[in-house]
A = this chain, B = another copy of it.
Amino acid sequence: MSTKTKVTIHDIAEKLNITASTVSRALNDNPRISDATKKAVLKAAKQLNYQPNNIAAALRHGKSYIIGVIVPTADRFFFASVVRGIEEIANNLNYKVIICQSYDNYEKEVQTIEALLNARVDGIIASIGKNTENFDHFKKVQSKGIPLVLFDRTTDELEVSQVMIDDYLGAYKTVEHLIQQDCRRIAHFTSPKKVSVFKERLRGYMDALRDYEIPYDEQLVIKSDLQLEDGRESMKKLLKLKQSPDAVFSASDYAAMGAMQVLKERGIQIPQEVALAGFSNEPFTSFTDPPLTTVDQRSIKMGNITAELFFEHFKDGEKGIVSQKTVLKPELIIRKSTLRK
């Protein structure tokens, strides 16, 4: 019941006693082709079960209509949502999205870029891996004139369009909120990595303390990889201090979750004894007990904007566009883990 041999436009042409070029034009709705021929071609295409070969087309006009998206991992709600936001826009413009994961692994990230270049994607959208400190692979993309846009995890070492949220503001507002809840010894979980988002969150934390005249205590800033287990360890460290904190602002929901576990295991009341806030608004943060205060990163919106910015690079051709930076306002989601009054 199935034609094993691939059917091409030549087969259609032969059947109709016309040439392949006419078929091609008919399929692409070229105005120079008569409606009669178009209909005949369409009909024959159905009959023969014709499947266009995008590879041949891509080779011919140097466009693949595929854009590569690189995320550290697709199973974090935030990244998955951004991808969704990108897809919405891209699909509307008839572009396909291929999702690649770097798993926060530098080598894998480099390889992925290489693979995407070989696959001749029309552009790349990426969020940089946590461990990446050398950006030559991204520079290579740019040097080839391939559109590149970064989101969330970006870097200043590249002249590139980027979309991010105002991590500084998100952190500032969170800490401000904690202060308004009468917290005075506020700890912070951050990452030692070069990624700017964490640096910005730290800056927001420090500035909020300063503005409210709360002394900065280095002991209260714990650096780790910010996974759940790291959050547990960090919390344990804090509890060993002579003077325990009365709040923890974690740059990651997962680490905040780890801290919550430790606090609950030790019977420490949240938020009465220690208030707790995270960052990212992962879905599980609303399930926890108590529900976790966190910062929403406008992920879908970020995906939309990133894709739109990306496609502007096409329209305006290779030149003309300067790299531009879009900063979204985050939203503080206040839940019971910080509500002390």
Q: Does A99 count as interface, using CB distance less than 8 angstroms?
A: yes
Tell me whether B145 and A4 are in contact (CB under 8 A).
yes
Q: Does A37 count as interface, using CB distance less than 8 angstroms?
A: no
Residues of B contacting A64 in the complex (Cβ-Cβ under 8 angstroms): 55
Q: Does A2 count as interface, using CB distance less than 8 angstroms?
A: yes
Assembly CA distance A74 to B51 (angstroms): 28
Q: Does A58 count as interface, using CB distance less than 8 angstroms?
A: yes
Residue in contact with A75 in the complex, picked from B4, B53, B80, B87, CB distance below 8 Å: B80
> Of A16-24, A112-120, A180-188, which binds chain B?
A112-120
Q: Does A264 count as interface, using CB distance less than 8 angstroms?
A: yes
Chain B proximity mask over A45-79: 1 for CB below 8 Å, otherwise 0: 00001011111101100101010000001111100
A296 to chain B, nearest CB (A): 15
A45 to chain B, nearest CB (A): 13
Residue in contact with A55 in the complex, picked from B49, B58, B80, B257, CB distance below 8 Å: B58
Q: Does A323 count as interface, using CB distance less than 8 angstroms?
A: no
Assembly CA distance A246 to B75 (angstroms): 34
Chain B proximity mask over A85-123: 1 for CB below 8 Å, otherwise 0: 001000000001111110000000000000101111000
A251 to chain B, nearest CB (A): 18
Assembly CA distance A119 to B55 (angstroms): 6
Assembly CA distance A233 to B5 (angstroms): 53
Q: Mostly helix, strand, loop or mixed at chain A's interface?
A: mixed
Q: How many copies does the complex hold?
A: 2
Residue in contact with A145 in the complex, picked from B2, B76, B119, B261, CB distance below 8 Å: B2
Assembly CA distance A1 to B74 (angstroms): 35
Q: Does A135 count as interface, using CB distance less than 8 angstroms?
A: no
Residue in contact with A288 in the complex, picked from B75, B77, B288, CB distance below 8 Å: B288
Chain B proximity mask over A286-321: 1 for CB below 8 Å, otherwise 0: 011100000000000000000000000000001000
Within 8 A of B (CB), among A134-158: 143-145
Residue in contact with A287 in the complex, picked from B54, B96, B287, CB distance below 8 Å: B287
Tell me whether A52 and B99 are in contact (CB under 8 A).
no
Q: Does A83 count as interface, using CB distance less than 8 angstroms?
A: yes
Residues of B contacting A132 in the complex (Cβ-Cβ under 8 angstroms): none
Q: Does A192 count as interface, using CB distance less than 8 angstroms?
A: no
Tell me whether A66 and B1 are in contact (CB under 8 A).
no
CB-CB nearest in chain B for A260 = B287
Assembly CA distance A257 to B1 (angstroms): 48
Chain B proximity mask over A159-170: 1 for CB below 8 Å, otherwise 0: 000000000000
Residues of B contacting A318 in the complex (Cβ-Cβ under 8 angstroms): 4
- Minimum-distance CB pairs A-B, first 6: A75-B80, A284-B284, A2-B143, A289-B289, A98-B98, A99-B99
Residues of A within 8 A of B (CB): 1-2, 4, 6, 49, 51-56, 58-59, 62, 64, 66, 73-77, 80-81, 83-84, 87, 96-101, 115, 117-120, 143-145, 228, 257, 260-261, 264, 283-284, 287-289, 318
